[in-house]
Amino acid sequence: MAHVVSVGTALPPFRLSKADARSTVERLFSGSFEHLDRLLTIFDNSGIEERYSCVPIDWFQSKHSVEEKHLLYARHAVDLAEQAIVRCLHEAETDASTIDQLVFVSTTGTVTPSIDAYLTNRLPFRRNIKRTPVWGLGCAGGAAGLSRAYEYVTAFPRSCCLVVSVELCGLTFIADDKSKSNLVATSLFADGAAAALVCGDEWERARGPKIAATQSTIWPDTLDVMGWDVTNDGLKVIFSRDIPTLIHQEMKSNVESLLQERHLSLAQLDTYVLHPGGMKVLKAYEEALGLSPDKLGYARSVLRRYGNMSSATVLFVLKEAMESAGTSGYGLAGALGPGFSSELLLLDWTS
């Protein structure tokens, strides 16, 4: 068994309102679509009121080299990760020297040595800390990181694992990409970082919701649903309209498979900690799982205030659930990502 002791989050300095984002996209995509005004209604229907960026909004109006994007990613990823970790450890009343395993998750940039190595030079982690950098799981990465932490501390119940997710989605924007996928991405994605401390049952400060079980799923012949094309201008988004359809087709049986392992049913789930990929994704979850809109209140709240921060978002939702006085019973955490894949966790607030 594992416990999620605490979650810390961090946001970059530039706040972008829905109006700011829409007007910028309108200028950037002007002349690219016959009925651009109709497409721009996506901002009104996104459920996102504001989000945050590591670069000012004017940055998006010109081309940038892959090298420039890489340098910006490396600098801001380390800074934001450090902030999230410090807040997470402060909440847990511990420090970096107690961490046995560091799982670093990101998909919006690559650095070698990986970002976790840079963090060991910023914070007093032990020299023998185990490091696991995870790349390429997209929006599912935060949930996958929690699952890998659960496995580690279950095997070593006196240990602690720190899961850190940083996504700087804005830096992947390609000004010359006038595709509909790029336009949709600009209406959803944002920058942010989160850190979650997961410990084993025998750790001296073990507390918080338990991770009772996890499940990873990958569906064949879905490689083109979500991901990146690597181009000379950087990472070009792949974003299929089929995602809500796949949720309708696959999610209920996927969740039931996880619950059957613990002899539970959907009716016994009280709390949902699901990655808010967008309003259509949340609506598809509701319809597939037979949920009332209030069941996804934590996810909607995070989407409204921060946008879709890829892998970090589910950790923001988890923080909201953990800080709510009304959270109880069993919960489901999960996210979808490239592959096309799903990462699910059964959470337990019953004791």
Residues designated catalytic = 139
Alpha helices in the chain (DSSP H): 18-28, 36-39, 41-44, 66-92, 115-120, 141-155, 180-188, 243-260, 279-289, 297-306, 313-323
Per-residue DSSP letters for 271-332? EEEE----HHHHHHHHHHHT--GGGGHHHHHHHHHH-B-GGGHHHHHHHHHHH-TT--SEEE
Q: Give the integer Cα–Cα distance in Å for 127 and 238.
A: 39
Per-residue buried b or exposed e for 1-14, using 16+ beta carbons within 10 Å of the residue's own CB? ebbbbbbbbbbbeb
Using alpha carbons only, what angle is made at residue 319 by residues 243 and 91, rounded to the nearest 5 degrees?
150
Is residue 303 packed enough to be buried (19+ CB in 10 Å), middle (13-18) or exposed (0-12)? buried
Instruction: Please say whether the beta carbons of 24 and 225 come within 8 A.
Output: no
Tokens of 179: 């595709």
Buried b (16+ CB within 10 A) or exposed e, 245-281: ebbeebbbebbeebbeeeebeeeebbbbbbbbbbbbb
Handedness of CA 119, 125, 127, 129 (dihedral sign): negative
**HEC per residue, 84-123:** HHHHHHHHHCCCHHHCCEEEEEECCCCCCCCHHHHHHCCC
Q: Which amino acid is at 156?
A: F
> What tokens appear for 278 in the block?
């967008």
